[in-house]
Structure 1
Amino acid sequence: MPFRERHIDVGDADLLVTFGGAGPPLLLLHGPSDLALALAARVTVVRPQLRGAEFPDRTMARDALDVMGDFGYDRFTAVGHDLGARVALRLALDHPGTVVRLALIGAALPDVRRLTMPHLVADAPPPGLARAILDLMGL
């Protein structure tokens, strides 16, 4: 399934966003392309570029929220890998009614016990990661 590209203005930055698939919305932050393709068979994957590690997690979380809002999504699953895991965690903590499920992969993270939504945390991408995420989503 081909992904399309779109530029989205988030106020003080113009972010390149790739997206594709069909089904429930999934925000993929810093996830590998093969994971995006596997998930797009069952869900709508939205992959915004991240500004970079020099920016605060809260700024990038706000960017991600703005991107999803631009697509018309006010509730979604968030999946973050590496730097994206920190951003996804910040987004979930700041907007628990928006992030309905969360998967955090391959990042050293602070305590995640405050999370109230269903979530998956893995130190490294496990085999079958796409299936585990779809299971988390009940698909």
Structure 2
Amino acid sequence: MFDGFRTERISLANGLTIQARIGGDGPPVLLLHGYPQSSACWHKVAPLLVAAGFSVVATDLRGYGASDKPASRSHHATYSKRAMAADQVEVMRRLGHDRFFLAGHDRGGRVAHRLALDHPDAVRKVAVLDIAPTAAMYARTDRAFATGYYHWFFLIQPAPLPERLIAADPDFFLRSKLMAWGRSAADVFADEAVEEYLTSFRDPACISASCEDYRAAATIDLRHDADDANRRIEAPLLALWGAKGFVGQHFDVEKLWRERARQVSGMGLPGGHFLPEEAPKETADALLAFFAGDDRQDA
């Protein structure tokens, strides 16, 4: 995976180290992954962006993959999307990128949402993949949502309940998530990528961190969103969703993002939740069309 890319571990001022896969030359693009994955999820998309003339940085979020997994505090601020977004801005600045294009899938999309709000001068354009805004999804909870997204309510239970249950068989839990949320054949997930997800998820620190990510989403992140209820993302935003996935079938994704951003476009792509792996060419084509134009000339 990631032929021609280099891997760097980038030390931040807060003491954490974030792992990044870096490749290509040209305008910078930051790619953020989702749960329960790592930057490996972009292994089919990243080379296509590089081939089109972009410099790509695909990172492991704090708590995931090979990035550091700090212990959390009772208020969950350690895994707030604000803290996770600040990590990513510093990573890009240390790589020499003060402004960049941004794409986030799943949890990475929620970090991208917060990053675009907190650091508007850093974001040229932002794409969010297969999510609607967190607060809007919680506000529309019904039986279908609670059933399809039961993990939102399971992972936020007080420690160590979900941690211990997942740790009893992390491979089974992770594979069940991949199969339940995808709408394509199992072989869309490369063996090397799945092994990376499994290796990370076998680490109790990763399990704990990922639970804290969701606990933050249900507490401090909602407070931050409420504080910013009257603010809009200034950068152009592209919303992509899986045409066969739960989010696209149960939420008016583009409409909900229009309540959070000033310039919004959107479309459904083939497959389910895991767009970078289920529909890599369509995802790359959509991102390239979105990022292209005058913005590339002065990136």
Q: TM-score, normalised by structure 1?
A: 0.89
Cα deviation digits, residues 35-63 of structure 1 (max 9, x gap): 11211212100012101387111111000
Q: Counterpart of 1:97 in 2: which secondary structure?
A: helix
Aligned Cα RMSD in Å? 2.2
Q: One-letter code of the match for 2:285?
A: R
The aligned residue for residue 35 of structure 1 is: 45
Structure-2 separation of matches of 1:66 and 1:95: 11
**Could you say which residue in structure 2 is the equivalent of 1:131?**
285
Cross-structure match for 2:16:
13
Question: 1:118 matched to which residue of 2?
Answer: 236
Give 1:119 deviation, angstroms: 1.4
Q: Which has the higher strand share?
A: 1
Instruction: Give the deviation of 1:15 after TM superposition.
Output: 1.2
**Could you say what secondary structure the match of 1:123 adopts?**
strand
Question: How many residue pairs end up in the alignment?
Answer: 139
1:118 deviates by: 1.4
Alignment of 1:1-139 (within 5 A): 1-10=3-12, 11-30=14-33, 31-41=41-51, 42-52=53-63, 55-110=79-134, 114-124=232-242, 126=269, 127=279, 128-138=282-292
**3-state SS in 2 of match to 1:39:** helix
State how far apart, in whole Å, the 2-side matches of 1:64 and 1:58 are: 10
Deviates more, 1:87-96 or 1:52-61: 52-61
Superposed displacement of residue 108, structure 1: 3.4
Instruction: State the distance in 1 between where 2:130 and 2:47 align.
Output: 19
- Give the gaps of 5 or more residues in structure 1: none
Larger fraction in helix: 2
- Cα separation, 1, equivalents of 2:235 and 2:241: 19
Q: What SS does the aligned partner of 1:34 have?
A: coil
Q: Structure 1 residues 97-106 or 120-129, which shifts more? A: 120-129
Maintained 8 Å contact 1:29/1:85: yes
Q: Is the 8 A contact 2:238 2:290 kept in 1?
A: yes
Structure 2 segments unaligned to the other structure (5+ residues): 34-40, 65-75, 137-228, 243-267, 270-278, 294-299
Q: In terms of mean alpha carbon deviation, does 87-96 or 105-114 score higher?
A: 105-114
Give the number of the structure whose alpha-carbon radius of gyration is greater: 2
Q: Percent identity?
A: 39
Runs (4+) of structure 1 exceeding 6 A deviation are none
Tell me, yes or no, if the aligned pair for 1:118 and 1:136 is still in contact at 8 Å.
no
